[in-house]
Amino acid sequence: MSGLTGLAAKARSFAIAAHGAQRYGDNPYVVHLDAVVALLCSHGFSDEQHLAAGYLHDVLEDTPTERQALLPFGEEVTAAVAFCSDEPGDSRKVRKAATYARMARDVRSQALWVPLAIRVKVADRLANVMASAGENPLVPASSRLLKMYRREHPTFVGALNVPGVCDEMWDALAARLR
All structural domains of the chain:
6-176 (1.10.3210.10)
Percent composition of the chain: helix, strand, coil (DSSP 3-state, to 5): 70, 0, 30
Q: Which of 26-40, 72-86, 119-133, 136-150 has the lowest mean pLDDT?
A: 136-150
pLDDT at 8 over 90: yes
pLDDT tens across 27-69, in order?
999 999 999 999 999 999 999 999 999 999 999 999 999 999 9
CA–CA separation, 65 vs 164, rounded Å?
A: 32
| pLDDT, average across residues 89-115 | 96
User: For the chain, what percent of residues have pLDDT higher than 90?
Assistant: 88
pLDDT at 2 over 90: no
Contact indicator for 158, 108 with CB cutoff of 8 Å? no
**Residue 33 buriedness (CB in 10 A; 0-12 / 13-18 / 19+):** buried
What is the structure's pLDDT at 140?
81
| pLDDT, average across residues 136-162 | 92
* Dihedral sign for Cα atoms in the order 133, 138, 142, 148: negative
- Would you give the DSSP letter of residue 156? H
